Chains A and B, each alone.
Chain A
Amino acid sequence: MNEITRRPTRTGTAMSLSAAGFATLSLAFAAEMAAAGALVATVVLAAGLVRGSRRVLDAAGGLFFLSLAIGGVSGPGPESLLLAAIASILAWDLGENALSVGDHLGREADTTRLEVVHAATTLVVLTVGAGVVYGIAAVASGGQPIAAVVLLVLGAVALVSGVRR
């Protein structure tokens, strides 16, 4: 007894893999290629959680991004793409959180509350954010010059990066 198992927590692993599965599912209705990519990313994510490796988790995050980009290009509805994006960001975030909690507290400690709260806040922020983005896109759809949109994104990134912590 009382050896600390410094591995990703079970709760976090379960939540992360569920989110990854949901991301794969929501892409599957729109674009097969993207869904296949998301499936590979899910497998890599699971491997990263089993091995407890941050690098593998980040690789899984990259693969998710790639599948989302493919999904965006092959043109499913923006709704399912946003849904998949929320789910995949959540999957990576919860996986990484499970890794760090496991590293700090070990598998035996009770961490359910911490991880559920973390999942809930991330989910709320992403859902509200996606709603806002979708709303803006719906209101201002059609007719904008592409350069304006690009400059908008660039400006937003620069502004947000400048915010002091």
Chain B
Amino acid sequence: MRVLTCNCHGLIKFPELDLGPDVKIEQYDNLCKLKLDIGADETVVIAGCSPNLLEGIFPNANAEFVNLLEHITLVNHSPEKAEQLIVAAVAKMQNTPPVKTKVFNIKSKNALVIGGGIAGIEVATQLSKNGLPVVLIEKTPFLGGTVSKLDRLYPEGTPYSHTLMPLINKLQTSGNVTQFFNTEITDVTGRVGDYKIKLKAKPRGVVECINCANCIDVCPVEVNDAGKKRKAIYYIPTFPDMYAIDFDTCTKCGECVKVCPGKIDLEQKAQESDIDSGAIVVATGLNWYDVSKVEEYGYARLEGVMKTLEFERAVASGALYPKKVAIVYCAGSRDSKHLPYCSKICCLLGLKEAKLVKDRFPDAEVYVIAMDMRSYGTYEYLYNTLRDKGVSFIKGKPSEIHRRNGILVVKTEDLFTNELLEVEVDTVVLNSGFVADTITFDKFNIKLNGDFPVLFENAGLGNYELPRGIFTAGAATFPGSVSETLIDARKASYSALSLLRQDKIETRIPQAVVDEDLCSVCRMCIGTCPYNAISVVDDKIKINEELCMGCGICAITCPSYASQLEGWNHSGLYEQIRALVKEGDVLAIMCRWSAYNATEQAAHDKLKYPENVKIIRVPCTGAVDPSHVMLALRNGARGVLIGGCYPDACHYARGNFRAKAREQILRLNLEALGMRKDRVRLEWIGKDEAQKFADIVYEMNK
């Protein structure tokens, strides 16, 4: 084994080291400038400056880093301590097998884009323009998604055709895009670079079409499509340029076949196809929250109470001439009984509807009833415009909507005037929030935070080290304006493109591995994984390599040490602590993301802390083993400090909470064994909280 030492241009003074015949010591004075080769199967100790820096220089090394600069030299600690740190690091690495290299071959260069709304269209166009073969699937018969249902877009109220038509035209001329309509995914197998997907296209019914529109004259089935009337056979002027039959409402009476013989097939069969794909962009958009669940607002019970989309389409198509309109904001949003979150765009949608009324019927009265107006950024202009146009804004949350003498009454408080109001109108628009269309999320193991994917699934924040090849785009990530949606689509395109440009991905990030000879399949680990990476497959515990982020929480949960985090296996850490901790020491086991950085900052802040404080670095407080704490105490440690991220700020979501629970029970154990419970402390220490770190270790030294 090699120990690479760097004296940082003479800054670091080294002790004389004798680590036995099996350990070779190499001395450098500027390790950071050398391109040293460290083998994949080799384990090394690197002693020099900060691991945060050295990890960037040796990203693939199986290394334990000893920070002599910040933990010895700059804090004036002794060369003997330096030697102890190095000896302990050697003990660790002599008992730590190397991290396995994981290779993901990008076998398929196809990109699958799910969803033919503006996000999906934009992603497909971008990928196709860059030379990738793209499959775009859409579950309805037409492209356009939510935007194609709208009359206009905020803030100005421009018709959607300004935006959607150019996007569709660019897509159709971009190159190599295969489009499937009325299509759903029935099965997904495989992994990044090599997904196999089964598709099922439901029948369109219309085989050939010249858009003569004769069929709608004879179709007897009238359908209310979100506020707008159409027939069971219908057309949306986006793409493809042909009619389609809505088989959910079609009675198969055959009238349309009579006027268009041979070109309409009511008994058309579903078609199945298999495709392969290296990366998948999920652009499945959003759904309006089911506002009928907000019972006090009377949707579906009271005539004249409408959803925003219905209202917009009814007014635009001339089916509705409102004179007095109340637009009720946050209908079911920011409400623990319904959607606990803010959907971000609905405030602007409400303003858009108010402007629609004022544009069409300048004399109509419009009341906007809102707890808050979140017209963020420059959308504030739209709000100001509507104030100028005479829209009344009431600050409040309506308690009830009912009908009295044929008039709708909205009961609300007004927090500006501190009055209870009854607003009398002919139409109420319930401005509700949104949920993601989760139709495919389960198939792609996309985890949710509330009703939308957790942020790191987002295209722009994809995990490049270990890509799953699944990206979300547009409103499937989170609701946004048309321009925000297109920006998100570009981010997803970039992520998918940079992935598919490679032939293979090699990573050496540490992951949990399970020793089947030790695992009893007790399943205690499964629920502790923040990434749902653990499951039972064929009666064995299986770690999904695409999901495991290497926190080590499961390894410390496993009562048999069957699960181990590569690079941090229990016996390596055991030997490190056994070698390091001497009578009277304080052992500081620090999370690499927060508390460890504070220990480095202490050196640059010129803080002093006692020589007997020995610092080791771990991936997460959730990876700290109570057994190792016990070992440190047996070795005579005065105290053990576990330092990590503040609650809710854990890099691995919930590792610090797991650590907290373990600390709590461990402390009971210590007391029962006659020790003061504060000899073990789990503390939240932010990366700049050097003073806090120093204060705590002083306290623990008393």
The answer to whether A and B interact is no
What residues of chain A have their CB less than 8 Å away from a CB belonging to chain B?
Answer: none
